[in-house]
Structure 1
Amino acid sequence: MEAWAVVVAGGIGTRFGARKQYESLAGRPVLAWSLDQARRCCTGVVLVVPADDIGRREWPADLVVAGGASRSASVRAGLEAVPASAGIIAVHDAARPLARDSIWHAALDAVRRGADAAIPTVQVTDTIKQIQPDGSLLTLDRSRLVAVQTPQAFRASVLRQAHASGRDATDDAALVEAIGGTVVRVDGAPDNLKVTDPGDLAVAATLLGEGTLAPIDRR
């Protein structure tokens, strides 16, 4: 089953203070690492960047499209560019440059086996408390909590249906859940970090420099 990837790099870096997808990581833009992963694991790649960055630089993607005002809007822009021949669509945040190929393949294979969606997760290790309406705190059972990563893989028809509502969500699996789709978990990795602030970029550089991410192509 043909699989395409939508690599989402449409953010303007409000929290980071700059467009983090273009920041240097081990001598290459953060975005370049994520594109390499998608290219190795999928038949084709659609890259979503801020509208004012279209045409400023060439990237190793089959198509480059302009993002929208939200993450979900950017994913929808990418979906429109994915050919109808794709049976599986993976969505990956460019800000996760250390995703191992094994995570990509685990998610894609789970969909090939019949799931509507497959998401990489890691067990929560911190104690999590929920703020109640009155300001008090409720301690949640962390043994039942997981943190969700990307790449996330989807049956193409289901993902398109989920996005047809035009709703926003923090991840695409939430939209699939909302229409009753089957979402399964695959193993993520603690070092599949999301670059959110400059400190995360420093950690990613250290992981690469220590050679602890051997499965990643370090071209």
Structure 2
Amino acid sequence: MGRLRKGQPVVAVTLIAASMTASTASAQDIDPGADDILRAMSDYLAGPGSFSVTADASTDILMRDGAKGQLTATGQMVLDRATGFHVTRKGPAGQTTIVFDGTPIAIANEALGLHLFIPVAGDDDRADISTTFLQPFIACTTPEAWTFTVNSEASYDWEDEEWAIPINLQVSKMTMIGKQPVSIGGGVRYWAESGPSSPEGWGARLFVSLLFPKG
């Protein structure tokens, strides 16, 4: 009872997410080699009139009693600079679709009963926006069901020529609360580079995810 069986699908629902940012530490210089790599990636993506990106991700969770669970997700983004973009992501919480055709942004997830339309129209003389977002990550899961993750959520503002680069270190643990399997974790964030509207220094985040075995 209360165990995940091998090959058993899992649905994860995140309950709590909190972040705090402090501005006591100053930003440090970025390694020139890393800056060159990020700029080369941004320059490449800025060139084509259209492109697509496909991603697959999986996380294996092994409990002390040998039971194993796996969380998988797939995603695809198709972007055309003239007509907009179309994003789909299939994961434990169903399929989420995001569509933008120049007017509102539409977000839908049938499994969660989510249907949103976000207007983006504004004055013709509003400031131009041109931003590239990059999210490299490395994650490692131990036999004891600990997961260690290092990632960044870097963005570059082409209009102001400013980088915002937070670096995140996270640790999570698969465990049981009574008969309920859960993933509990937390981590720290440091802003290696901050733009005019970005936080500075150190931050922290905590999260709890409930895992629901099916079958």
Shorter-chain TM-score: which interval? under 0.3
TM-score by length of 1: 0.25
Bigger Rg over Cα: 2
Structure in which a larger fraction of residues adopt strand? 2
